[in-house]
Structure 1
Amino acid sequence: MIGIDVGGANLKVVNDEGVHIHYCPLWEKAPIADTLKPYVKQGETSAAVVMSGELADCFENKLQGISFIVGEVQKAFPGARFYGMDAQFHERPVPQLAAANWLASADYLRERYAGAILLDLGSTTADIIPLGHFGSLHELTDLNRLQKGFLLYTGMLRTNIAAILQSVDLFGIPTPISSEYFATSADAHFVLGHITPDEYACDTPDHKEKTRNASLRRLARVVCADLEEIGEEGALQIAHQVYERQKAMVCNAARACAMAYGAQEILVAGIGARLFARELGAQDLNRELGPVADALPAFAVREIALRNREFSH
């Protein structure tokens, strides 16, 4: 069986061979079916699926996005089953399928870590989930989660610097930043050594190379400067302040959730697991689960389908 998580930017697949992450932006007419068909040729016949890509702005509304994703997956796996916000599997596009990927992670982990909070920090968002309150999580929309502090739109790769900071202290001078899409969190984390070149797994804002110097140039541009104007030191000052602000946002939200729900432990998954587990004194699920922690919903929905014997009847 294959586990699939269809996000707005990434298509994540988990099978017996491991984790496979494909950059597959839906707003650019992502070839979901073509990306999945090679797995059919490898002998996979069943697919358990979660999604969050229905929110992409190429769709008129969420249900249109759900219908598109279901249709594309079914071109490769006609018998695919889709996990919904009611914690049930479905065979047709229904509203409950919207953004159920995080609930699948909670469903998989909730018994083993009933007293914990899960922080899943990915390329685009941070999901904060009180695992001991699974029943109360059913049917929560992304709007509900934003309002409750369970969803932060900040991530390790795709977040516009202008969504993290409004100004920086540059050589001791308060400096507003441009709201243009000049650099992302990936540029900051890359130059600080938090991610590797291979982990910079998204397009760059300027569609240019993913090198340290190119990232420094993009960071300089957020204060309307060339790298030659502020130097590497100035660009690194920006990167450090991006990280400090993002760290405060994520860690404060995770700690607030843990306090509100009396959690005894914080677990961290996703591309940001290693970095933020250290900052929070939390457990890095990569150490327990291995690489699948970077694609936790895809792994989780596969395990839930196996647990429920979804394809045995």
Structure 2
Amino acid sequence: MNASTGNLILGWDVGGAHLKRAVLAPDGILLSVEMAACPLWQGLDRLDTAIAALSPAAGRSVVTMTGELTDLWPDRAAGVAGLSRALAERLGADTLIYAGRAGFVPAADAPDHPADVASANWHATAAALARMCGDGVLVDVGSTTTDIIKFAGTQVNFAGYSDAGRLETGELVYSGAARTPVMALAATLPFRGRQVPLMAEHFATTADIHRLTGDLPEGADLYPAADGGEKTREASARRLLRMVGRDLGPCAMAEAEALAAFASEVQLHRLHGALAQVLSTGGVAAEAPLVGAGVGRFLAARLAARAGRPYRDAGEVLSGAPALAAAASDCAPAVAVARLAID
């Protein structure tokens, strides 16, 4: 990087499973976007490992977080306090924490705003998009969850703010493109003329489903498979067939692929229901686009088609650099929080 390192803005999205960072020059040019696995529930040393996995960069850090939800802490307030302190120690005492509707606060003051700071990364993405592209509906399909947030007139239009509130309003759906256990998608799946109850075991994840359908993007699945095995189509088929009590060999690959295709439809149907719930409250024009983000945004594009709305890619809006658009979509909250800090 040839910009003055002291003037760079480092936007961080510190999740419970992934660490994402965007680096912006003072003039708003996006210089880099990176992501690393960060199983924060295993200890703060995992945060150190994830930071070390990123390219060296120095500058002013601004942070949005969901990592306070991990069971490393007894509750969200303790998580906000503990994680903010840990980040200030690692990123600098001048680190700012994004507190959503309350704006940015110094890391030292974040414990005074736990309800605003906790899991506010969706708000950062929607707020940045609202300023940059007018009215729309953010559909951020990550590895674990999906956020569905309206924005209009440069304002974020949400019905719930906390995780509890957003779960009730359809704005937060615990269904993602990689880490969601298949048993969480449905009680049964069709197989050989029967509706077969799924085994309540962590045999397969949505990464296996979308690998078999050919939709899983490169780099979307950073965690070990459910059985710790290979991440090949054959291994995914083997894991998915276990969910209906079957084995690959006696069953054909085509049967596993058909099972995956229907499971993908089940997931899409659930997201469509949540989108319909969010849209039913009004507040955004019928022609406003769905803006897709996250590693599972291929599902957002399909939702747009089903809802009869135009589709835009969040990375194209947030990045300003076509070469980094895909990475910016994958790590939208990190890019967004940096842009909000510059603004």
In the superposition, the TM-score normalised over structure 2's length comes to 0.83
Return the alpha-carbon distance in structure 2 between the equivalents of residues 75 and 38 of structure 1: 18
Matched, 1:168 2:197: no
**Secondary structure, counterpart of 1:227 in structure 2:** coil
The residue type paired with residue 87 of structure 1 is: A
For residue 13 of structure 1, what is the aligned residue in structure 2? 21
Aligned to 1:310: none
Deviation at 1:179, TM superposition (A): 1.1
> 1:13 deviation in Å?
0.7
Q: What residue is the counterpart of 1:55 in the other structure?
A: 69
Partner of 2:95: 80
Q: Deviations over 1:153-192 (max 9, x none)?
A: 0000010101101111101112111111110000000111
Q: Counterpart of 2:102 in 1: which secondary structure?
A: coil
Q: Any idea what SS the aligned residue of 1:244 has?
A: helix
Amino acid aligned to 1:300: A
User: Cα gap change, 1:38/1:250 in structure 2, threshold over 3 Å: closer, same or farther?
Assistant: closer
Secondary structure of 2:132's aligned partner: coil
Q: CA deviation at 1:241?
A: 1.6
Mean CA deviation greater in 258-267 or 46-55: 258-267
Contact map agreement 1:273 1:286 (CA 8 A) in 2:
no
* Contact 1:87-1:103 within 8 A present in 2 as well: no
Q: Which residue of 2 aligns with 1:303?
A: 339
Change (3 A) 1:24 1:189: same
Aligned equivalent of 1:228? 249
TM-fit CA distance, 1:135: 6.0
Map of 2:48 onto structure 1: 33
Matches within 5 A, 1:1-313: 1-16=9-24, 17-30=31-44, 31-36=46-51, 42-78=56-92, 79-91=94-106, 92=108, 93-94=110-111, 95=114, 96-132=116-152, 134=155, 137=158, 140-261=161-282, 262-263=284-285, 264-281=288-305, 282-288=311-317, 289=319, 290=325, 291-307=327-343
The percent identity for this pair of structures is 30
C-alpha spacing 1:71/1:38, structure 2 compared with 1 (3 Å): farther
Deviating more after overlay: 147-156 vs 24-33:
24-33
Q: Deviations over 1:80-131 (max 9, x none)?
A: 1100133311222321210010111111111334421111111111100011
Extract structure 1 runs of 4+ deviating beyond 4 A: none
> Which stretch of the first structure deviates more once superposed, 192-201 or 129-138?
129-138
Per the TM alignment, residue 201 of structure 1 is displaced from its structure 2 partner at its CA by 1.9
Q: Is the 8 A contact 1:181 1:205 kept in 2?
A: yes
Task: Provide closer, same or farther for how the CA distance between residues 241 and 33 of structure 1 changes in structure 2, counting only shifts above 3 A.
Answer: same
Q: What's the offset of the Cα at 1:197?
A: 4.8
Note the residue ranges of structure 1 that are not aligned, 5 or more in a row. 308-313
With normalisation by structure 1, the TM-score equals 0.90
CA distance change for structure 1 residues 299 and 19 in 2, over 3 Å: closer, same or farther? same
Q: Relative to structure 1, is the Cα distance of residues 170 and 38 closer, same or farther in structure 2, using a 3 angstrom cutoff?
A: closer
Moved more, 134-143 or 277-286: 134-143
Unaligned runs of 5+ in 2: 1-8, 25-30, 306-310, 320-324
**Match for residue 311 of structure 1?**
none
| 8 Å Cα contact 1:113-1:132 kept in structure 2 | no
Cα–Cα, structure 1 residues 226 and 140, in superposed 2: closer, same or farther, change >3 Å?
same
Alignment RMSD, CA only? 2.1
Opposite residue 268 of structure 1, the aligned amino acid is G
Q: Secondary structure at the match of 1:204?
A: coil
- Counterparts in 2 of 1:225 and 1:121: CA distance versus 1, 3 Å: same
